[in-house]
Amino acid sequence: MPSAPRWTGVAPRVRVGIHTGTARLAGDDYGGFDVNRVARIANTGSGGQIVLSETVRALVGDDLPAGTTLRDLGRHRLKDITTPEHLFQLDVDGLQTDFPPLRGTLGSTGNLPARVTSFVGREAELERLQQLLATNRLVTLTGPGGAGKTSLSVELARQVGEGYPDGAWLVDLSPLRDPSLVKATIARTVGLYDGVLGAAADRLEDHLADRTTLLILDNFEQVLEAAGTVSDLLRAAPRLAIVVASRAPLRIAGEQEFPVGPLAGGEADGNRLFLERARAVRPDLRLSAADEAAVAEICRLLDGLPLGIELAAARVGTLPIPAIRDRLASKLPLPGSGPRDLPTRQRTLDDAIAWSYDLLEPPVRRLLDRIGVFAGSFDLAQAEVVCGPSDELGLDMLDGLVRLAEHSLLYRDDGAGDTGIRFRALETVRTFALGRLRSAGELDAIRDRHAEAYLALAERAAPFLPGGTQATWIVQLAADDANLRAALLRVIARGDAEAALLGVAHLWRYWLLSGRLNEGKQLITSVFAMPGADEPTVARVRALDAAGGTAYWQGEATVAERFYAEQEHLGRELGLAWEEANGAYNVAHARFALGDEERSIRDLASAKAKFAALGDERMVARIAWAEATSLQRRGLHDQAREAFLELLGRFHASGDIWYEGLAFGSLAWVDVTTGKIDSAFWWALQSMRVGQDLRDVADMTLSIQMGAVAALVFERPVEVATLLGAFDVLLVAYGIRPPAGLQQLIAGIGDPRDYARAALGPGAYEAARARGAAMTLDEAVDAVFALGRELGIMPPADAPADSPAI
């Protein structure tokens, strides 16, 4: 019998694999699936390492000998074994415990939880995140509570996990408040434990140093002071990548932020998520058309936040979908508790927001409470007026806003054009803040501040509408449209008729010029129905201008005449000379539209004399434009044309740009009436250019019909039908109707619709009209300009040299 081998100066090191299963005797050896499995397990280890299967851990994990512990090595796919094997290392006091990564495994899945529900939407975000993670070792997903940062980061890890053979590990930091515990929590998650070789936290960097690992650090917002730990790990482990899910960024070198907002797929993804989760509680759920509309509104009210949508869908078992919508619209909490397997901080949306709110200092919390009154976005100056001043809050306003943005309770609003730095809160955050403000007893006072601030903005803007700087003012007012509406509704609700009347007086031109006339009419009707609104006051006189103007531009000349006549009469009674003169000027337009030419001429003469006595040359020139329009109406085309040319120069010289655009348009209608089509089209294009520069939706829309008339004359039936389709839809969208006087001016030219229908036939006509109906205003205007260029339209000989170029 050969003697046993003798080892000289060498300590033999054996790798051990342990598994429990079924084996079968084959000759003098054992075989079977479990024998193969334990062989594969043993082969993964290094010399001196003991590797156990999940089966063995379940049998002995609660009854280990003294001085031994188990270390979780994660799930690994082994050769020829289809399902991942969960492996553990047996650590024995006094023996080596640190070993290289397991050998021969086909990748590690770390500890990622199995998905138990479908992952809806976010495809674009996942693709972008994969690209970012390929070039950035630290990616931080930021966003408000309920945005789905955890789900998105875990799904990202699932998709890229094959690239991290040492595992993708989800580290839940939500139980922590002490930043010093972060490193130890990461260490325990990846399988390190305190032992004879030292504390797990102290060994973490060495453990990760030569491993290719992905860490997902979830709920980092309450341990932000541990950001240095993340930097240390990245420096120590060159193949380590970290994805952080946090309501606030870490603000360290190498960090790539990725804001997570509402579902990027918009309404479709939100509706799909709601339906899937609702059918989890009601498998037979079928939606009516009313239910579908209610679901879309629910998703909007919840800002498209996945958590909110899921919580609302969970109530479908006990509440009808419209009832869920109505409670959310009324800013009432949904009855019942959230899913029991969610963390407490996510049982309701308020819980999710409160998680961030509680991390803020008291002055910053107070600021958020007051921000709840803003409807839409706001800028720093508005925040100072409504929420401040800074010394009242006890913090610098800009610093406070930035702090809220860092915690994903506000976000930058970049969609309001060139209106400065603006912030916006999600509707769910606003609802939360309003509840806190109400509890503090400050809601009415801050809402009154808000109303006063925005009605003051409307008053500042009104003198410039219309005018050469109106484009800037329209951009500003459009950015604050929701706040302006909220301000007006506030003074209506508190019964302040004077403030409400002045509010519509200052805002109606903005509604007209920006294409919001339908909404404006509703608000004007509400204001005029208020108790006290019919009192003979200065505020009513000025509001009558708004009511008459809205009716006039919506083609309701009889209604406009009644409001304008009262404006003139009340102005005279109150001794308001300018308002009286303006009422006379306005009522002349209404009577012109109604065909009462004789009275219209008398009204214009009266208004002209009154404005001349007041020394208001700008209004005198505007009345001269109306008188020239009357000359045209009476067939005195040459006199009208001469007058419009002279006025064109006066308006340009005085900077009355809006009326300069009207004069261009008037020259177009004179020339088209007298058969000078090339010249008419050129004037019309100049009028449209002024409208573009001034962002004047009303005049640009009305000018589209001149393009259709030109297309008729130049025998372009497809363009006629296309432009008419755009014109009809845009009139409805913006609440505008051509004044009857304008319709009378183009009488005799021929009906473009009849021409195009006859030239194209019903099918082709409707197809071209449908293409136009799908156009935006800018696209329709561009189509008119393109037609002008294609036809080679040149300026008439008497065109002013300083006319805008097309």
How far apart are the two ends of the chain, measured CA to CA in Å?
Answer: 108
Q: Which amino acid is at 293?
A: A
Cβ-based neighbour number of residue 182 at 10 Å: 23
Asked if 57 and 88 count as a contact pair (C-beta separation under 8 A), the reply is yes
Q: For 360-440, CATH number? A: 1.10.10
Average pLDDT per consecutive 10 residues, the chain (806 residues; last block may be shorter): 57 85 71 79 90 86 88 78 74 88 67 66 84 95 82 88 88 88 90 71 89 92 92 95 92 91 67 78 82 82 74 78 80 60 56 79 94 92 90 89 84 67 84 90 96 97 91 92 96 97 97 93 97 97 97 94 97 97 96 91 96 96 94 90 94 92 91 87 92 90 88 92 95 81 55 90 95 95 94 86 64
Q: What pLDDT was estimated at residue 286?
A: 84
**3-class SS of residue 116:** coil
Q: Say how far apart CA 785 and CA 771 lie, in whole Å.
A: 17
- Candidates 488, 558, 548, 553; CA nearest to 523 is 488
**3-class SS of residue 707:** helix
Q: What pLDDT was estimated at residue 347?
A: 52
CATH topology of domain 16-106: Alpha-Beta Plaits (3.30.70)
Q: For 123-259, CATH number? A: 3.40.50.300
Q: Where are the domains of the chain?
A: 16-106, 123-259, 267-352, 360-440, 634-791
Is the pTM higher than 0.85? no
The 10s digit of each residue's pLDDT in 369-426 is 999 999 989 999 999 999 988 888 889 999 999 888 888 788 788 755 565 788 988 8
The helix-helix angle for 380-387 and 443-461 (nearest 10°) equals 140
CA–centroid distance for 396 within its chain = 27
CA–centroid distance for 793 within its chain = 42
Helix residue ranges per DSSP H, 515-594: 517-528, 538-553, 557-573, 577-593
Q: Based on the number of CB atoms within 10 Å of its own CB, is 113 exposed (0-12), middle (13-18) or buried (19 or more)?
A: exposed
Q: What pLDDT was estimated at residue 523?
A: 96
Cβ-based neighbour number of residue 638 at 10 Å: 10
Q: What pLDDT was estimated at residue 183?
A: 93
- Candidates 473, 540, 486; CA nearest to 512 is 473
| Residue for token pair 């901080």 | 345
| Residue for token pair 């009422």 | 583
Q: What pLDDT was estimated at residue 348?
A: 63
Q: What pLDDT was estimated at residue 120?
A: 65
Q: Based on the number of CB atoms within 10 Å of its own CB, is 674 exposed (0-12), middle (13-18) or buried (19 or more)?
A: middle
